[in-house]
A and B are shown apart, each in its own frame.
Chain A
């Protein structure tokens, strides 16, 4: 059973359609990325999932229960990190953690709390309002993790974090995933999505562009870049490569066939190429080609 199931959800603000007929699902234990340009509808989608805002249409189910009907049951099992962390500024960090546990009717494991404070180097005595952006984010992460949620929803969690804390955060998240938690990560940082997520949903203008299984696609698809005065477009097409970019002395192809066949084709060319680059298709390239393709279809 999917942990997150969005079925044809939409959200309108007056005449403006922020999310339109969006559907996708996330399976238990997945590390799922959710990406899109600014204003694509990512935060609106998450706000609907968390019932901050009412949807205009469609169905949302989290952890097998429909939202908002089972809002309370669902939130007991969810951890949420907002992109803009604005907690009670007058409260000390340790009090915020205490209140979070109280909301969940949990005593909390002091050793675990201490571990998080140490791991993320948080001064528990400081007032939340006196913390830097990065430290506020760390407190939000601890608040989201401390009650052992089955589903962790994060909106730009690494904004303001230094590389060391970034690595520690993902180490903790990987641990949680290994323990069975599902992680839903919205991020602008394509590198971190590529490094940690197994699946990713692309959204643009409130609509789903596609859902890709990164573990499969990235390994299978290569990007071949050729430079030279005479580019072998027909030969590449003959072995199944798709040209994605063509300039006067450079062409780029997506290629899913075997490497021996590619190298054999290139070595048998009558003219010499100046440069050949073969690389795994990264998320950024995938992201760009998806959006360019959609833009092309629209035009």
Chain B
């Protein structure tokens, strides 16, 4: 519990910064909806563009952009990718930073087991991520209510946001716990940011390839971002097959992290 508190305290500033930046960005994007709608963006003819490419960028249904759900579903996918990066960075830094900054010398001299270190840090960072995602979703929902087109159902919007909130939460936890697994190998956090970016973009590109070519469709399962693509979730609801895949990744990463960290030589 002490390490849990210490970890939360250490990251509180980062959390606030991410919430503020993502909140402002979300409100900025949503506030553009009335103007974009009036510009007739949905009437743009995309027939000349390759179908697969449109699929890859989730642009297949331009008519949907005339609704707040369709517009938000397309724009917010980039925030979802940023959210994945935030979650991966929390995880990748969590264990490696203690060794890189030398604070592991203090921490591990206290009566605390390695399993408790990993467990407390995982819980604390999961809580931080949950708070970030809950606040981000609340801001996005309020923004959508504020700028929605007349006649859009608040109840329908709420249901879609609840599904997105859940899917996005699972996606973030997947990146977070996978980040922990990477962190258990590292003894410095110098490469944590680049690793986080690499993991999120690589898996996202795998998802894009999977969507572009039916022969590689299975690759979509390697892309946690596809679990929480707003346009897909708004259209099809929660994609349970992706959720289950993410949960398996979470479980395996979690077990491997505990196993590796228990056996490694800590760099003091």
Residue numbers of A with Cβ under 8 A of B are 43, 47, 50-54, 71-72, 75-76, 78, 80, 82, 84-90, 99-100, 102-104, 140, 143-144
Contacts and interface: CB of A to CB of B under 8 A. Distances in A.
A86 B2 contact: no
Interface in B90-117: 101-106, 108-113
A78 B109 CA distance: 8
A39 B112 CA distance: 29
B265 A52 contact: yes
Contacts, number: 62
A54 B109 CA distance: 15
Contacts of B27: none
Nearest to A43: B268
B17 to A, nearest CB: 15
B265 A86 contact: no
Contacts of A87: 103, 106
Interface residues of B, number: 21
Cβ-closest 9 pairs across A and B:
A86-B102, A103-B110, A53-B265, A80-B109, A102-B2, A75-B111, A76-B111, A82-B105, A87-B106
A70 B2 CA distance: 21
Interface string B1-21: 011011000100000000000
A99 B266 contact: no
A88 B110 contact: no
Contacts of B110: 75, 100, 103-104
Contact of A103 (B10, B111, B265): B111
B53 to A, nearest CB: 47
Contacts of A140: 106
Nearest to A48: B265
A52 B103 contact: no
Contacts of B268: 43, 47, 52-53, 82
B47 interface: no
A72 B110 CA distance: 8
Contacts of A71: 113
B113 A103 contact: no
A50 B6 contact: no
Contacts of A75: 109-112
Interface in B73-89: none
Interface in B34-84: none
B263 interface: yes
A257 B143 CA distance: 94
Interface string B256-268: 0000000101101
22 contacts: A43-B268, A52-B105, A53-B265, A53-B266, A54-B263, A71-B113, A72-B112, A75-B110, A80-B109, A82-B106, A82-B109, A82-B268, A84-B102, A88-B6, A88-B106, A90-B10, A100-B110, A103-B2, A103-B3, A103-B112, A104-B110, A140-B106
Contacts of B266: 52-53
B103 A86 contact: yes
A99 B6 contact: yes
B90 to A, nearest CB: 17
A51 to B, nearest CB: 8
Contact of A84 (B2, B105, B108): B105
Interface in B103-146: 103-106, 108-113
B258 to A, nearest CB: 15
B2 A52 contact: no
Contacts of A72: 111-113
A266 to B, nearest CB: 53
A86 B111 contact: no
Given A52-B268, A72-B113, A99-B6, A86 B101 contact: yes
Given A53-B266, A86-B102, A104-B111, 5 more contacts: A84-B102, A86-B101, A87-B103, A103-B2, A143-B106
A42 to B, nearest CB: 13
B103 to A, nearest CB: 6
Contacts of B101: 86, 89
